[in-house]
Amino acid sequence: MQEVDQATLAKIVTDFRSESFVARLTATVRNRGFEQEQAEIAAVRAQISGVDSLIEKFLGLVSEMSEPRALLRKVEALERDRAKLEKDLARAEREMREAQIVADISDRTIRAMLDDMVTEIENFEREPLKDFLRSHLARVTLDPQSLTLRLNYEIPLFRGDKLASPGGFEPPYSP
């Protein structure tokens, strides 16, 4: 099994240093759509609008009630919900801006990032290396019949955002 581990690490290092891998990874980042972030921002804005409508409606009823304390508590709870939604909106908008910045990334930046990862791979002890690989490989498929190994990368760029592999790889390995 140690030979498979060594072959896997060697292939990862080879991939990370490959110009074609860098080019495909850069293209993947640049072609990434922002539909998910845009949908999240729209959903949060819609929730804020709904809460605003409720607050306005309840405040209109306060003047008509003889005992408005319960309704005012409800308005206070809605105001707290609205404040939380405002924070969620600010976070989603910040993540959208970050994603747009990353979309302008260059081959040189990707290459530097991958070179740093290779250095980490070469310097890690066994347990930290396992953690590193778990966070950068979406799937590893070994086929003992054809003696192939398929690596699907999931490389985090920032705050949990991950890039899918720019293509699976099936390098031969020595058992």
What is the rounded average pLDDT for all residues in the chain?
82
Say which range, 21-30, 107-116, 136-145, 150-159, has the weakest mean pLDDT. 150-159
pLDDT for residue 107 is more than 60: yes
Provide mean pLDDT across the span 58-67: 87
pLDDT given at position 74: 93
**Residue 99, C-beta contacts closer than 8 angstroms, at least 6 positions apart:** 32, 34, 37, 161
pLDDT given at position 164: 46
Q: What DSSP letter does each residue of 103-124 carry, written as one string?
A: HT--HHHHHHHHHHHHHHHHH-
Residue pair 34/99 in contact (Cβ under 8 Å)? The answer is yes
Cα distance between residue 173 and residue 54, in whole Å: 63
Q: Taking the model in full, what pTM does it have?
A: 0.55
Percent with pLDDT over 90 in the chain: 27
| Residue 172, token pair as written in the block | 């031969």
Provide mean pLDDT across the span 60-89: 92
The pLDDT tens digits of the residues spanning 6-39 come to 888 888 899 999 999 999 888 887 777 677 888 8
Strand 137-143, strand 148-158: pairing: antiparallel
**Quick one: how far is CA 105 from the chain centroid?**
16
Cα distance between residue 54 and residue 50, in whole Å: 6
Domain residues of the chain, as ranges? 2-32+105-164, 35-103
Cα distance between residue 113 and residue 26, in whole Å: 11
Say which range, 47-51, 82-86, 106-110, has the weakest mean pLDDT. 106-110
Say which range, 10-24, 26-40, 83-97, 113-127, has the weakest mean pLDDT. 26-40
